[in-house]
Structure formats: C-alpha cells, structure tokens
Structure 1
Amino acid sequence: MHSQPSLKHLQALPSNVKIWVEVSNAKPALHTEHTNTNNHSEVQYTSVIGQVCLHTAKSNVPILQVAWQIQGIQNTVKNYTTTTALGQPTFLTQWDLTQNPIQFCWWRPGTYIVTCTISTAYGIGQVSNTFVVTSPLVRDFNAWTGIVGVGLYHHTRMIRFAYSMNDFQIDGIYMNGIIAGQQSVDGYIAGIQLACNQRFCTADNSMNYRYDTNGTYILDTGMTNTVFYQNHVVQLTNNGTNINYEVNDGPGAELDSNLIRAMFIGNGDVSPHIPETYRMYIMFCPDVVGGIWVPLKVMQWGWEGYTTYNTSTQSWGQAEDTDVPEPIVSDPVDFPVWSMNTSQSHWVNY
C-alpha cells in the first residue's frame, strides 16, 4: 500500500485551485451536508456490498499524481469476475493505488473512508469521502443431516451415496439459509459449494485405488454443472421480509463416473473409504449496475463413509461407523477461492 502524506507535509493549494473526487454508481447519503473547504468538498455516500464503484480524481488544473488510501482495504476487492466456462474466479489482486480512476467494491458492511491525495504543480491536497456500506442480514444458516443412503445405481455394481428424493431431510444433508434485505438492500441470493474430495478403494484383485484433489477445494458444480449449486438463485426483497435459500446434497453422488464404474466391475468384493469436506457459501449480488457476487456466510460440513459390496448377496452394505458430522457455520467469511477444476484432480492406481 502506498503511504499517505501527513497533513503537515502537504503543500497548501491556492484558493483558486479546486480538487474533488467523482464517484459513480453510489448515492450521496440523504440529508447529509457536504463538508466544503476553499479547495474541495467531501461527501458521504451509501453503498451495498458487491456494488462496484468508480472513483475519479478531478481538478481544475492538471493533475500530476494521485495516491489513494482505502480504509479497510482487506475488505475491498477490485475487478472480481466469475468465469462460468471454467468455474474459476478471477482476481486482479495487484493493487495499484496510484491509478486514476480506480474501481473497487466492499464486501463487508460498515463505514469506510476513501482518501485521495492529489498532486498538482500548485501544491498537494486531499479529498476524503465516507461510505456507509450495508448488506443483507443472514438470520440463520443451518443444516440437517441424516443417514446417507447407499445402494446400486442403474443396476450396475457401483455405489451411489445420495439423499432420498422423497425425504431429503432424513437422508443426506439439507441446508437452509434465512436471509432478509435491510436498508433498501435489493438483490439476489445463490450458493457456491467447494469440495475437497478423496476416494480410497481396496479391491479383491489386491489393487488399491485412490482419487483425490490433493487437499485443494474444487468447485462442486453438482448435477446441474453450474457455478451456482443446483443452479438455484432467489431474489431478495428490500423490505426486511425473510426469504429462504434451500439446497440439499447427497455426499458422493458424483461417484457416477466411468472411472469409478470400471474400477468396481469385475473386481469382486470392494471396500471404498470416502472422507471429504465441503464449504457451502451463501452469496449475494446487489441488483445494481456493476454488481458482483460476494459471500455472506459459509458452512463447512463433511462426512466419512465406508461401504462393502458382497459378491454372494450382490448387495452393498453401509458400515456402522459412517459419519456425517454437524455442519459448522463461520462468520465473517472470505471470498471463495479455488485454484483447480475437476479435470485437474487425479486418479492413482497403486
């Protein structure tokens, strides 16, 4: 971060030199008096998390250099995009706080000050604007877990861990987020789930198999193959009314793959062991031009299952020590960052 010159070292600007900062895509706060001096005005704005604003330093004389100081810079992000084709988020993380204009948004609610130090041939001055940033209120984020169903899939010798379509509150995991829009916060809610997967299998042919993501969380596109989990997006009202964001999951459902299928067929009795963890993010995008998706809360959950296929009975059995621990909700959260997609995970036959 570039250091900001202290006021005592600033060379006073002549009264006829004016400096100011224009802010696009943010509203001046109602009933707020602007602070004016002989050279500049300072404004209080209202904004919402995920609302991208453009800040431009201006003057009635040529500007030689600018330097921005952003209070709470760890709570801001610049030029965040989600590329759905690869399921990868892209960050431009190298901050250049001398560029003009500069574009960014906040992803935490609060009151922040953005100060611009403007250098001209006639001296140096500063403009500080205040931003009151609001966000939706997550009233609750919880989950129910139950017995993980285990059985044959498509009449093949292949396991599938899944929730029951008839009662997913009993089998698998059911996640619910109760969210309310506050202070005219209007936008959309969706979920992004990341998975850290491992698959271990010991077969009768004395071969061991392993599939994993090397401890890296990858995007869980689910059965809909979309960035947002189950492609489920709901609109948030701005009058304080609660909305429910609901998704459900059956751990290990993605085991329906040609590689897993080939692994088990013809291998006799097999004993898969599957420990894995997930992170489900509740995401919010404001209904404004230039809005981006930012996380409100995250829930980490996981499970560890053991199953065995019996060749004599031609059936799968679930081990008694299959475990689905209680989910843990954390707040505050960071942006969900993942550095690989499913094609980069690997299989090992050893």
Structure 2
Amino acid sequence: MHSQVRELLSLFAMNPSAESHSIPLSDGNRIPLLGLGTYGDPRTTPKGTALECVKLAIDVGYRHFDGALVYFNEHEVGQAIREKIADGSVRRQDIFYCGKLWNTFHSPELVRPALERTLEALKLDYLDLYIVELPIAFKPGNDFYPKDGDGNYIYHHTDLCATWEALEACKDAGLVKSLGVSNFNRRQLELLLNKPGLRHKPVSNQVECHPYFTQPKLLEFCRQHNIVIVGYCPLGSSRDASWVNVKCPPLLEDELLVSIGKKYNKSSAQVALRFNVQRGVVVIPKSFSPERIKHNFHIFDFSLTEEEMKAIEALNKNIRFVELLMWSDHPEYPFHDEY
C-alpha cells in the first residue's frame, strides 16, 4: 500500500478534527482537507465581499484558501490574511494559500511574472501551492479571454512540460512551496510525470469531484502516483447555464444524502463534504454566505459508515457540472478522455 494512503488511513483512525485535518503531500508539505473557495463573479460580487468572508472563515477555523489571479479578488483575500496575522489570530505558516497560473501565461517566460503578480496582489512572500489552472493555453497578452473578430477564442500552442519547468524554477527560487495542476486528465499527468529531468512532481490535481462525479479512475491513478485530488464543486454547482451543465440534477436535493444527513443531524451538503474528506479528497466549497461558511466547516464531528460511503459512491452518474465546452476544440481540452 502506498505510504500516503497508509498515512491517510491512520489519520482517519485518529479522526481529523476541526483543529487538525491536514494530510501529507508527496514533497513533504501538508494540505488541509477543507478549504474555502474564493471565486465570485467579478461583475456581480460587491467589493469587499472576499475580504470579509476570508476574515470570518479564519475566525471559524479555515486555514486553506483557494484563489486565482483570474478571480480579480486576490488583493482582498491577501488583505484578510494579513489582517488576521496582524491581530494575532494566525501565523503565516498556519495559512495554506493556493494560487493558479492562468491560460494566457503558459509561455515559460511568463510563468514567474504571473506568479509574482499573485504575490503582489496578496502582499505575501510565498504561496503554499501554485497550480496550472487548465492544460489549455490562450494567446499571451493583457486580455485573459482573447478572442478574434468573429468572437472565437484565440488559442496558443501548449507545451505543458516547458510550462512545468518554469514552475519548477519558481519553487527553486522560494516563491512557492508546492506545485500542482488542475483539470488535467491521466494523459496530461503522465506527460509531466514522465518528463525527462523532472525535478518536482505535481503534488495535487484539482478537479470537479462530488457524489454525482466521484472520479474513481482518476482518483486511483492519482493515488498510485501520490497525487492528492482537490475537489472543486464538492456540493455540485451553481445553475448558471452559461458555463454549467444544468441537465445534471441538483446534488443537494439527493434523497440518499438528505436521509443520511437526518441520521446525523447534518445537511446533505455536510454529508457530501464528509464523503470526500473521508476518502482523502480535499474539498474547497466556495461560499460568500457567512452562515454557509460556518455550516460547511462542521464536518469533523461525525463520520460515515463503510456502508454509507459505498452507497454514496454508488450515486456516481459520471456527469460533469463544469464541462467548459466553449474550449472543447482546444487540442489539450482535457475532458474528451475517459479520465
């Protein structure tokens, strides 16, 4: 059995707690199993929302924050973290921040400047984790979503290994502690893992993961290679038809999740989060609702039985909420492959 899985199982024998629920990464660092996603539509989210929500989350007990340059709110997240460090609530080393390399910065010479933009926005000295947000590259430039005159996205040739080497240099320079990826399929992970001269393995792969999309094959592949799965949309997703597959039924209304929740006096959302955490999948539910931020954190005072875990696994429909079909003609679009 792989050492990481062994340690994970022993961790659950001890039972993770609200105070201590981080698991090991293959590079010797650790990642908390529960984090707060900080994405909010920049066009509709009032200024200051992320600032207040991250401060509240730190007070509640969150120590892991998932952000990105393309969310346009890293300055608020960083300010919240710095204010809570300044008032003595936490130390920098208590906080785990994950930033993301956007599609327009895949060219090797743009990788470090992009990471430095995130550090400048946060006003922090280093990131805990920096990940390639998608395996698809866009035309470099100031426009994050470059389009031609006909409204088509302008793609750029992706050399994922060259991008990765530039990330390795950022880790060597002390700008980031751990490196990972997001939305990579097995083939794309293998490309990096088999890269000649690989110096730093990807420690994590952030992908959609919840009871309706349990990712069994990708999860097993990643376990074999000591790559932690970080699950986004762990509660399903918004019903925004512009980017979400609304054919997938609302996860939180699932009868099984609701009934298991009643047994433990928990919500279907708490059951869905606990399910992933209990199988070693990190979850990063996004919320800007103070009540939900508190609610989602309360998953360490109960545990699911083996039968309940199997029953929830059987809910898998292999349907994605987040299909990103607008980029499905990109040569590195990751979701054509089975996993």
Q: Please give the TM-score of this superposition, normalised by the length of structure 1.
A: 0.21
Q: Which has the larger radius of gyration?
A: 1
Structure with greater strand percent = 1
